[in-house]
């Protein structure tokens, strides 16, 4: 079961998203950017992060920057879920490396579809990376066999 980390400083938003996602996913919810960074490093590590932008102390943009800078969390897909709805905000968030941008108030079918899609894409990327590693190992093994004979 995939793990979704929800990061929002508003308890009501955490409740709504947790209630929506909990029937299908393992949900972890935190109320600050600092806690999000810790949660991204501790088991069960998230397979996807839903991240609010406007939070005190550390905003979502900074959380994303720090997630991307750490090799352990750099590949975790992040979807911004925010009340900021200006085109420039969305472009900025996507430019930092978010995979998607959902505006509040959320529409449950849209959130569920985007979460499912991005989890499927992340799983496909992982399978492709594993296949590439296996192919590289096979090429190296055959090359070594050829050089030995």
Q: What is the CATH number of the domain that holds 67?
A: 3.40.50.2300
Residue 113 has pLDDT above 90, yes or no: yes
pLDDT-above-90 percentage for the chain: 76
pTM of the model: 0.86
3-class secondary-structure state, position 4: strand
The confidence score (pLDDT) of residue 144 equals 84
Instruction: Indicate whether 138 belongs to any domain.
Output: no
Domain that holds residue 7: 3-121
Cα separation, 49 vs 112, in Å, equals 13
Average pLDDT over residues 125-142: 87
Instruction: Indicate whether 148 belongs to any domain.
Output: no
Cα separation, 142 vs 148, in Å, equals 10
Residue 142 has pLDDT above 80, yes or no: yes
Residue with tokens 């594993």: 130
Least confident of 12-26, 50-64, 130-144: 130-144
Task: Classify residue 112 as exposed, middle or buried by CB count within 10 Å of its CB (0-12, 13-18, 19+).
Answer: middle
- How many distinct structural domains can be found in the chain? 1
Q: What's the mean per-residue pLDDT of the chain? A: 93
Provide the pLDDT confidence category of residue 147 given band limits of 50, 70 and 90.
Answer: confident
Instruction: Indicate whether 134 belongs to any domain.
Output: no
Instruction: Indicate whether 131 belongs to any domain.
Output: no
Instruction: Indicate whether 147 belongs to any domain.
Output: no
Of 83, 79, 78, which Cα lies nearest the Cα of 104?
Answer: 83
Cα separation, 117 vs 115, in Å, equals 5
Q: What are phi and psi of 97, to 5 degrees?
A: 120, 5
Instruction: Indicate whether 104 belongs to any domain.
Output: yes
């Amino acid at each position: 079961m995939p793990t979704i980390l929800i990061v929002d400083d508003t308890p009501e938003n955490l409740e709504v998203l947790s209630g929506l996602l909990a029937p299908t996913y393992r949900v972890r919810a935190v109320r600050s950017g600092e806690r999000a960074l810790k949660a991204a490093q501790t088991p069960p590590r998230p397979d996807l992060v839903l991240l609010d932008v406007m939070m005190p102390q550390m905003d979502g943009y900074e959380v994303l920057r720090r997630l991307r800078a750490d090799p352990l969390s750099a590949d975790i897909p992040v979807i911004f879920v925010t009340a900021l709805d200006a085109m420039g905000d969305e472009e900025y968030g996507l430019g930092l490396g978010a995979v998607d941008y959902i505006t509040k108030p959320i529409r449950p079918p849209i959130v569920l579809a985007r979460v499912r899609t991005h989890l499927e894409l992340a799983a496909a990327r992982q399978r492709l990376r594993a296949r590439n590693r296996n192919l590289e190992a096979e090429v190296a093994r055959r090359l070594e066999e050829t050089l030995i004979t």
